[in-house]
Structure 1
């Protein structure tokens, strides 16, 4: 045995590609990785490998890698146990896929020998039980690429190719599996130059598309931009501001999972989520440019006017992974959003009529101010009762512009966006998907990516419990990633109740208030974090106490201790 194994080459390849962390839930399929790390620590070359972050639950590992990549743009690695661990990250894998976030997921596979023919051959009963027909098939609906490591002789090439695909837009998760015998095998020292596996370069719009879209915006009576995830690239946000200012075009954020446009900018025209009424600003538009959005509107509720001209520019313009999706646009174009917006701005400068731009800007600013006054009225507490609007306003006053805020408040998503009023690109992040529990692990990854910044998560009580807080808080304590979690505790799942009322507004469930969504008897939500991670915890029921508790909790976080504040808002 030379000691240079496939496992060592695999870990070296990750480090060479810029992976700093392996978020791992180790199992019987990982002796080769465990031995490599032990050897590296013993012989003094551990810094040549990614740091191992042990996560007692796979979903925390996956969402931590997700959060790190969202801040840095660099995919990290997640190691899980064969088919069982792979299934345990299912919801968080969905989030990475739908949020277009690169993550390299590695799982071992049950050994393929059982008589001791090779090192790593089966020697535990579980290895027969966990031998399934198509382990890679478990994730194939959510990954951009999957492969099996069949030999260590090209493992570095496989890792670099997987990461190249993960980083190329639309970015997304990739999956590798490796049987024990292969990962234990001695191989010659491996080499693969990461510089030769760069992601696909950003795509630009064709010149005729630039002319067509810029001309439509410039010549419109009432144009509007709709976006949901342009802010995945923080540098695209000021580019969009420049385009909108050049033409006097307002922006609507639809189901935003990122800060896409500064909330205080006079051209910001608000947000829409599961809005059940028509959006008058969208209905009045005669030209609509959709820039990076999966759900620009809900067709049955708030679609644009039938006569409006629609254009879609996106890294994923026809949503190939969504079986049912359509926007009746006259042009669909695949392009990097920052590149496309810069192209449109250059052409718009040549076409803009200063008088028209001034008129549009004045009208948009008036609407922006009207919306702001309405929202300000909602931020007052109702006696001692803490409303979600008041809670978010208090958080807004407690944090600074540099704070990284993770939003997973579900039925209060819109409240967070409307009242937090974030303006700095990259400072408001959502999962991008629909599986709850992302924020608990993501806060760890975000803090590792930005150790000098304060990290605050705004979550529902259901989201908090989905996040396996016992595991997440333990990991945060062990690896020094203190963060604040603020819980909108409405003592139940509001979303299923709203969904039922949307379909059966006069049904039996509505008549009897029987929805099966309550969390009684109430759990001590901060107590979970205190017990598992030594966190500072408080439950707040009185509006008069909220500001001081938030201030104290942030002091705790800045001193190096995580904090969880559960805020009782009106019950479901």
Structure 2
């Protein structure tokens, strides 16, 4: 559609009047001031022109004329985005995508997607990371130019290493001819995606609206096809501002491919090995894309009466199932389901018989990159099935059923009884371990987990934080058996993920009425504390309980070990590794960002009442933070 100089509102007249009015306000003080000595007469200052008003934010239109575009191309981009079903878009505002931003909130009505205001691009992407692990599909994140990509790069890498789909659009001024003479140059790039290409699954910079429509749909399919990963579209700023062409532009229909399942002959051989094994072990990594994977894995484990290590990245198997755990003795057959490399039980350092065989079913064999080597050590595998493990489980279960004889079923039942005893012993040891330091001040992590569990166990709850830095106590003491009850960790082990991912996951939980819990490490929160404001502003119910050990305790231990290995004292290990003098007041931090905050709480007798007060707030639909001073680990 052709541009016009007149629109639904006469913006040119408005700007002219506003400029003159502003100049009048400046030249007419409301209070009489002493008069300075007379100065030589000089010409009266002219009101700023329209071009001057916009000079520091955009390229002035040709000839200085104001420009009205009734149907901009960014409206069409919103139409495309809506076909992909995004509920939310997280962004820290930036001028490189202001056309798309305006179209989302006005043309799109700020619904599907709804724009979430973030204080940092890392938070925007990490929120999308956490959201996807609950919802099972991507959230959109917008980034401003190359600086936005640089800010977000750590969060993108976390999602990449965690095999999570995140959909990212970054603005750019690709055409140097339309950049202004200032900051646009610093924020642009000829190949914007190059900075993160090593850790996104696919990227593109479409040069037309038709290309944008195709690339947008293609990016979604690529992100969601196992192994899931982040994708990036770079969007030219000038293309957002152009008027829509007269001819209709096609939006391709989104049709998701079915995840690849394993070859039937390989699945048959895997079943044969599993049925014949005397002491098999099943290890699950990032297996459960959907809740159905848990049901399937329980069925397979019970058919084989085999122990299951559910891993720490997803809920793959109920924590209190009698077959949960590593079993007993040395495994003679390992079944790895979406396990990275050869780590974990049954890997290079696991308990396995010398002649044990290993079966791997993983979509990771279908996709790998070279520069950032997140793929771990190469495992010794006897049967490798390159396929999505969840999609392969139904065929494997049916083949195991077919091969199991009545005699073999009876023998496996005896094995299952022994494994149930081992599981009960492990649980008993965990309970005994939780009692150590029960009344300690600062508060033990086991008591923190136990006191919290007592108050949420009858709710539909979701732990939206990693338990690796809190001794794994929720997994040892709680009953975790639903897909949404635990979302795992960062992926790449990088800080700054925790609070934003928790807010994103809580956002996804909100429409389901779930109670979201974040046990938040203190060092991690200080990377991206502004996300607390996002939670308060958008009224996202989330209980954040600080694991406040006043330091980066993992690094404390590393320095202590290093000093010991060098026969030096560890009395200086706190230097550069602790957050003391002054102590950080996280309750006031939360209050400053607009949410309920209380603490610090170091006396264990005060813990349960504080948790109740925080939960009361969250159940009313608001976020809350409790600062708990804890033992280091």
Please report the TM-score for the alignment, with normalisation by the length of structure 2: 0.82
Instruction: Write out aligned runs for 1:288-307 (5 A).
Output: 288-294=334-340, 296-297=343-344, 301-302=349-350, 304-307=352-355
The 10-residue stretch of structure 1 (437-446 or 293-302) with the greater mean CA deviation from structure 2: 293-302
Distance 1:69 1:519 in 2: 32
Structure 1: 5+ residue stretches without partners = 115-120, 271-279
Instruction: After superposition, give the CA deviation of every residue in 1:17-42 in whole Å (9 maximum; x if it has no partner).
Output: 101211111212123123324542xx
Name the CA shift for 1:67/1:382 in 2 (closer, same or farther; >3 Å).
Answer: closer
Does structure 2 retain, via aligned residues, the 8 Å contact 1:437–1:463?
yes
Distance 2:148 2:165 in 1: 19
Aligned residues: 548
SS in 2 for 1:59: helix
Q: CA deviation at 1:505?
A: 4.7
Does structure 2 retain, via aligned residues, the 8 Å contact 1:458–1:485?
yes
Q: 2:417 aligns with which of 352, 362, 377?
A: 362
Instruction: After superposition, give the CA deviation of every residue in 1:335-383 in whole Å (9 maximum; x if it has no partner).
Output: 2222222212111122331222211111110110110010001222433
Does structure 2 retain, via aligned residues, the 8 Å contact 1:19–1:76?
yes
Counterpart in the other structure of 2:109: 46
Distance 1:68 1:410 in 2: 20
Q: 2:193 aligns with which of 117, 133, 136?
A: 136
The 10-residue stretch of structure 1 (500-509 or 408-417) with the greater mean CA deviation from structure 2: 500-509
Name the CA shift for 1:47/1:542 in 2 (closer, same or farther; >3 Å).
Answer: closer
**Is 2:564 aligned against 1:517?**
no
Q: CA deviation at 1:487?
A: 1.7
Instruction: After superposition, give the CA deviation of every residue in 1:225-274 in whole Å (9 maximum; x if it has no partner).
Output: 011222332210111000000110111133x121111011000016xxxx
Q: 2:388 aligns with which of 314, 317, 336?
A: 336
Structure with greater Cα Rg: 2
Does structure 2 retain, via aligned residues, the 8 Å contact 1:540–1:568?
yes
Counterpart in the other structure of 1:21: 88
Name the CA shift for 1:15/1:343 in 2 (closer, same or farther; >3 Å).
Answer: same
Distance 1:502 1:309 in 2: 36
Counterpart in the other structure of 2:631: 570
Distance 2:274 2:563 in 1: 41
Q: 1:10 aligns with which of 59, 77, 81?
A: 77
Distance 1:111 1:210 in 2: 50
Q: CA deviation at 1:193?
A: 4.8
Does structure 2 retain, via aligned residues, the 8 Å contact 1:488–1:567?
yes
Name the CA shift for 1:390/1:363 in 2 (closer, same or farther; >3 Å).
Answer: same
Q: 2:152 aligns with which of 77, 83, 89?
A: 89
**Is 2:101 aligned against 1:34?**
yes
Distance 1:65 1:369 in 2: 38
Does structure 2 retain, via aligned residues, the 8 Å contact 1:394–1:546?
yes
Distance 1:218 1:171 in 2: 31
The 10-residue stretch of structure 1 (240-249 or 415-424) with the greater mean CA deviation from structure 2: 415-424
Distance 1:5 1:141 in 2: 33
Does structure 2 retain, via aligned residues, the 8 Å contact 1:9–1:155?
no
Q: CA deviation at 1:297?
A: 2.1
Does structure 2 retain, via aligned residues, the 8 Å contact 1:262–1:425?
no
**Is 2:226 aligned against 1:169?**
yes
Q: CA deviation at 1:123?
A: 2.9
Distance 2:185 2:322 in 1: 63
Counterpart in the other structure of 1:424: 482
Counterpart in the other structure of 2:600: 539
Q: CA deviation at 1:443?
A: 2.8
Counterpart in the other structure of 2:52: none
The 10-residue stretch of structure 1 (359-368 or 184-193) with the greater mean CA deviation from structure 2: 184-193
Distance 2:184 2:379 in 1: 48
Counterpart in the other structure of 2:119: 56
Name the CA shift for 1:199/1:318 in 2 (closer, same or farther; >3 Å).
Answer: closer
Name the CA shift for 1:110/1:431 in 2 (closer, same or farther; >3 Å).
Answer: farther
SS in 2 for 1:105: strand
Does structure 2 retain, via aligned residues, the 8 Å contact 1:409–1:463?
no
Where relative contact order (Cα < 8 A, 6+ residues apart) is larger, the structure is 1
Structure 2: 5+ residue stretches without partners = 4-68
SS in 2 for 1:482: coil
Please report the TM-score for the alignment, with normalisation by the length of structure 1: 0.90
Name the CA shift for 1:417/1:38 in 2 (closer, same or farther; >3 Å).
Answer: closer
SS in 1 for 2:282: strand
Distance 1:145 1:155 in 2: 14
Does structure 2 retain, via aligned residues, the 8 Å contact 1:203–1:339?
yes
Does structure 1 retain, via aligned residues, the 8 Å contact 2:539–2:623?
no
Name the CA shift for 1:242/1:178 in 2 (closer, same or farther; >3 Å).
Answer: same
Does structure 2 retain, via aligned residues, the 8 Å contact 1:165–1:199?
no
